[in-house]
Amino acid sequence: MAWFFAKRLVSFTVTLALATIVIFTMLEIVPGDPARLMLGINATQDAVDALRQQMGLDIPPLARYFAWVSGMLTGDFGRSYTYSVPVAELIGDRLWVSLPLAMISLALSTLVALPVGIAAASRRGSAADTGIMASTQLGVAIPNFWFAILLVYVFAVTLRWVPAGGFPGWDKGLMPGLTALILPSIALALPQAAILSRVTRSALVEALGEDYIRTARAKGLGRRAVLWRHALRNALIPVVTIMGLQFAFLLAGTIIIENVFYLPGLGRLVFQAITQNDLPVVQNVVMLLVATVIIINFLVDIAYALIDPRLRKREA
């Protein structure tokens, strides 16, 4: 187990390090000088040089890379060019919108997908199964921003149940905040729910075809008991993996949905930062999102090995 863990830890660290190099290099090749872009074309060379020095752009790229990485390790993410505040502070503020949004979406998609997937698998081949599978195909095909626009039209414009966009802030109370996040969460959850239903169904169908299920049935255990007590437990492993990955991608998926609903979250922050050439913000937010995916992958690998001893033997 220790060998397996060590191997995974090395691979995790290498992947994380490579990700920092990729992100840094990508932003290094951005055409144009950020200082010149901020000051405009009429600025004097002295002013641009002074700003370059202030922004740390006069330091060689390699030194800047190490300064960025070591800064991140100590919690210093640099300062935003546009907002002139520490990036960590910006991320902290925006996470209070994006994190609840991603969490509500994940909860919604799980609440819908698990029962739907279980229902389809337990009635495999029936009309209900076909209907559910057809609906999930549709769910996967619907772009979430289009679904969002339709939701706004129905629930905000026509019925006036919820606001069409914006976020009042949590200091105005829990309910106004949650109300503002309802439609974005539903829009974000739809394709994820469709994917998760399909994964749940196929994992359960596979589990139901295993020998131990046949044995349990032969011993006289009822279909329902076999499904809940044996098949579902084994089927949950791939389902939980997908859920883990979905969380990271839901966080990233906010980039479009937050733009549809004008939510001041992480997605909108990174989009605005990209268009404003605010490199420290782009670099750190993208790194945060990528690191989340890598960390979740690592944790899932470890969890797998803890649950399934066959895996760590094979890998070691």
Partner 1 sequence: MSLEAGSVPDHVETWADFRSRAMRSRSLLVGTILVAIILCGALASFIWTPFDVTQLIIADRLKPPSSTHWFGTDHFGRDIFSMIMVGARNSIAVAFVAVGIGMAIGVPLGTWAAARRGIVDDILMRFNDVVFAFPAVVSAVMITAIFGPGQFNAIIAIGIFNIPVFARVARGAALSLWSREFIMAAQVSGKNAARITFEHIIPNIANLLMVQGTIQFSLGILAEAGLSYLGLGTQPPWPSWGRMLNEAQTMVAFAPHMAVFPGLAIVITVLGLNLMGDGLRDLLDPRLRRER
Please calculate the CA angle 224-227-229 and round it to the nearest 5 degrees.
100
Q: How far is the CB of 202 from partner 1 (least distance, A)?
A: 12
Assess 284 for contact with partner 1 (CB under 8 A). Answer: no
The yes or no reply on residue 10 touching partner 1 (CB under 8 A) is no
Helical spans, DSSP H, in 152-231: 174-208, 211-218, 223-225
Find how far residue 22's CA is from the centre of its chain: 19
Burial of 58 (0-12, 13-18, 19+ CB in 10 A): exposed
Q: Which residue number, 50 or 103, has a Cβ lying nearer to partner 1?
A: 103
User: Residue 59 to residues 47, 53, 54, 96: CA-CA distances in angstroms?
Assistant: 17, 8, 11, 34
Least CB distance to partner 1 at residue 200 (A): 17
In the set 9, 18, 107, 111, which binds partner 1 (CB under 8 A)?
18
- Interacting residue with partner 1 among 149, 178, 306, 307 (CB under 8 A): 149
CA dist list (Å): 240 to 95, 246, 300:
23, 10, 9
Per CB under 8 A, 269 contacts partner 1: no
Whether residue 161 contacts residue 155, with contact meaning beta carbons closer than 8 Å, is answered with yes
The interface region with partner 1, picked from 60-68, 110-118, 139-147, 304-312 by CB under 8 A, is 139-147
Binding region for partner 1 (CB under 8 A): 11, 14-15, 18-19, 22, 26-27, 29-31, 137-138, 140-143, 145-146, 149-150, 152-153, 157, 248-249, 251-253, 255-256, 259-260, 270-271, 274-275, 282, 286, 289-290, 293-294, 297
